């Protein structure tokens, strides 16, 4: 009776000293394990010569934690293997008392949690990688969509916006003017004697002239302005927040710059030649109640007026 009580006291004392501290340390150290001083190595116990077995050698983990060992290769899962190994003499010899058995059961639980956590980290890293790949794909798609959108609204030859996009922009600008009562002026430009350039030097030279003018217009306009190729040798600039007086100053600067810039064309005989060209500009200001069509018609009428008065000039609708 007294011997059993003494034995029970020893076991309880060992549990307090060896098992319970491990339980408390788990909260701050997920690598902690119960150290079983009686653990037996299977290859030594069974005098195994299978050096290719995962359980052979001085592994930190006992054989019942190692999948694919020679003696129980048929175990399909960790849970099945530990259940099978508990009946093995190696495990029984490693657990001579209840303390070691409790310690190995605790190790089993900690090992399972650790493996699950490791698997979760791998999954999380995989998810993070996939998220980065997805984000990169979305950014590339957005970039590609922007490129496609630019192609849809851009005139390839001049690099300016096209006529279809002009209508969208003007509708928005007119709505903004109606809300805020801000000024808005449309500048319509027609390149003088453009047909003569095509006839004299060929269409490639005419295309070069259009491309040259597109670059000049982008360079000369303000950042808040937007330029469009209206059709053929006609162009339109939408001048937001700009009245007729300021638009006239800007138009004069564009006209003056263009007539002074040399343009190199190639004649039909393949010889290069430097020419100078001029333009006629018409300006029309938005007034309350006007439609998009009204505004463009007035700008067009101002261009015709400039041409009728000798070309190479700026005309303001209703003023000049």
Rounded distance between C-alpha atoms, residue 244 and residue 90, angstroms: 99
Radius of gyration of the CA atoms of the chain, in A = 43
**Helix (H/G/I), strand (E/B), else coil: 39:** coil
Question: Active site residue: 116, 233, 234, 272, which one?
Answer: 233
Instruction: State the chain's maximal CA–CA distance in angstroms.
Output: 130
Distance between alpha carbon 56 and the CA centroid of its chain, in Å? 51
Sorted by sequence, the CB contacts under 8 Å of residue 246 that are 6+ apart come out as 185, 239
DSSP assignment letter at 229: E
Is 233 a known active-site residue?
yes
Sort strands 314-316 and 279-285 into parallel, antiparallel or unpaired: parallel
CA contacts within 13 A on the Cβ side of 105: 8
| Spatial separation of the C-alpha atoms in residues 111 and 76, rounded to whole Å | 17
Q: Facing residues of 284 across strands? A: 186
CA 43 to chain centre: 56
Q: Which residues are catalytic?
A: 233
């Amino acid at each position: 009776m007294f011997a059993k009580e003494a034995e029970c006291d020893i076991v309880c004392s060992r549990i307090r000293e060896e098992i319970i501290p491990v339980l408390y340390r788990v909260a701050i150290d997920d690598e902690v394990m119960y150290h079983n001083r009686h653990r037996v190595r299977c290859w030594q116990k069974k005098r195994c010569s299978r050096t290719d077995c995962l359980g052979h050698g001085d592994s930190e983990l006992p054989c019942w934690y190692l999948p694919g060992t020679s003696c129980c290769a048929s175990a399909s899962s960790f849970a099945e293997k530990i259940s099978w190994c508990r009946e093995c003499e190696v495990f029984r010899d490693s657990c001579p008392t209840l303390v070691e058995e409790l310690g190995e059961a605790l190790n089993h639980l900690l090992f399972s949690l650790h493996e699950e956590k490791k698997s979760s980290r791998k999954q999380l890293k995989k998810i993070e990688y996939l998220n980065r790949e997805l984000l990169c794909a979305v950014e590339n798609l957005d970039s590609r969509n922007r490129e496609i959108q630019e192609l849809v609204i851009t005139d390839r030859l001049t690099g300016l916006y096209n006529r279809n996009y002009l209508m969208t922009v003007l509708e928005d600008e007119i709505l903004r003017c109606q809300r805020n009562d801000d000024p808005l002026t449309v500048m319509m430009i027609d390149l003088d004697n453009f047909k003569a350039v095509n006839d004299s030097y060929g269409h490639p030279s005419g295309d070069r002239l259009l491309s040259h003018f597109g670059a000049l217009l982008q360079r000369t306009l303000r950042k808040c302005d937007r330029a469009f190729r209206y059709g053929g040798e006609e162009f339109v600039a939408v001048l937001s927040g700009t009245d007729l007086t300021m638009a006239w100053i800007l138009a004069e600067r564009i006209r003056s710059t263009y007539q002074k810039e040399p343009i190199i064309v190639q004649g039909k005989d393949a010889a290069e030649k430097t020419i100078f060209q001029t333009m006629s500009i018409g300006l029309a200001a938005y007034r309350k109640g006007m439609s998009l069509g009204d505004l463009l018609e007035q700008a067009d009428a101002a261009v015709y007026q400039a041409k009728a008065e000798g070309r190479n000039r700026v005309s303001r609708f209703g003023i000049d």
